[in-house]
């Protein structure tokens, strides 16, 4: 029986989907949430196999305490799922700097805090899994969500390097890149009017907001199926370094990488010509 530590336990979201998928295969779960009372009835069904831990992942002290609480209850943490995060929209020029920094605190720096809190135990045992929930937006930037995309691009880089650093220690690392999934991620957009201070960008952001509202509750991705796909990928030999989830997300990822490769090859003479001439 493995022990999981999962952040971002919003009802109906990926965190709960991962928890339920882990419980389905007989594991036990510590699921964190900023509002743990929302999970009380759900957790009660599973008895001692579930521990709901209050946690604001942007508070490094709370992170350390939450990890210790989970380890005291379950012993080792075998699987970490960094799921907590959120997206805000706005233009690159106009988004409030406080909001930009807040998004990086939540989507990037908080992930580092949790990883650093869990890794010592995994290193000591020589085993473990770290699953970082990225996004297709971490492979292709999304108009109107430039800074959200930037947080996910940063997470992709850290995940890639961390994988190489800890592989010799027996620890697996995977980036998961969902497309549009039917979680509550878009639920708040209807009540959040566009705050863009620069008039020239408002039309495109209004379209972005309208599209998010229109998609809410109709996204094609199923979080339960997505979580099970990740567990299946972890069991592969070798497991993938990254896993895109959803048909549309897969198509976008493939098209993006193919376009990038074609562009690189088209500029190959310029790229290769930037070195000092080789001696003849």
* Distance separating alpha carbons of residues 171 and 156, to the nearest angstrom: 17
User: Per CATH, the architecture of 3-268 is what?
Assistant: 3-Layer(aba) Sandwich (3.40)
> Residue ranges of the chain with pLDDT lower than 50?
none
**Active site residues per annotation:** 134, 148, 152
Domain positions in the chain are: 3-268
pTM of the model: 0.93
Q: What pLDDT was estimated at residue 190? A: 59
Residues 119-147 as b/e (b if ≥16 CB within 10 A, e otherwise) read: bebbeeeeebbbbbbbbbbbbbbbebbbb
Q: What is the pLDDT of residues 247-271, one digit of tens each?
A: 999 999 999 999 999 999 999 999 9
Write the CA distances from 98 to 101, 102, 104, 129, integer angstroms: 5, 6, 10, 33
Q: What pLDDT was estimated at residue 81? A: 98
């Amino acid at each position: 029986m493995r022990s999981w530590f999962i952040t971002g336990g919003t009802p109906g979201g990926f965190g709960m989907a991962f928890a339920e998928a882990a419980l389905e295969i007989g594991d036990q779960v510590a699921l964190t949430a900023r509002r743990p009372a929302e999970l009380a009835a759900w957790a009660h069904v599973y008895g001692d196999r579930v521990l709901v831990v209050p946690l604001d992942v942007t508070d490094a002290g709370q992170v350390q305490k939450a990890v210790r609480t989970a380890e005291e209850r379950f012993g080792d943490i075998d699987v970490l799922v960094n799921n907590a995060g959120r997206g805000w929209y706005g233009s690159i020029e106009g988004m409030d700097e406080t909001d930009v920094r807040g998004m990086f605190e939540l989507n990037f720096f908080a992930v580092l805090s949790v990883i650093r809190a869990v890794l010592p135990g995994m290193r000591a045992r020589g085993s473990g899994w770290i699953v970082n929930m990225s996004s297709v937006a971490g492979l292709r930037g999304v108009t109107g969500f430039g800074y959200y995309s930037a947080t996910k691009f940063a997470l992709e880089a850290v995940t890639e390097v961390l994988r190489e650093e800890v592989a010799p220690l027996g620890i697996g690392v995977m980036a998961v890149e969902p497309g549009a999934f039917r979680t509550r991620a878009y639920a708040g957009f209807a009540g959040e009017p566009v705050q863009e201070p620069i008039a020239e960008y408002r039309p495109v952001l209004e379209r972005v907001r309208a599209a998010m509202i229109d998609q809410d509750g109709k996204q094609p991705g199923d979080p339960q199926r997505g979580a099970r796909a990740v567990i299946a990928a972890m069991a592969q030999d070798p497991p993938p370094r990254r896993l895109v989830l959803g048909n549309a997300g897969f198509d976008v990822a493939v098209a993006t990488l193919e376009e990038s490769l074609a562009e690189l090859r088209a500029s190959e003479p310029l790229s290769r010509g930037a070195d000092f001439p080789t001696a003849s």
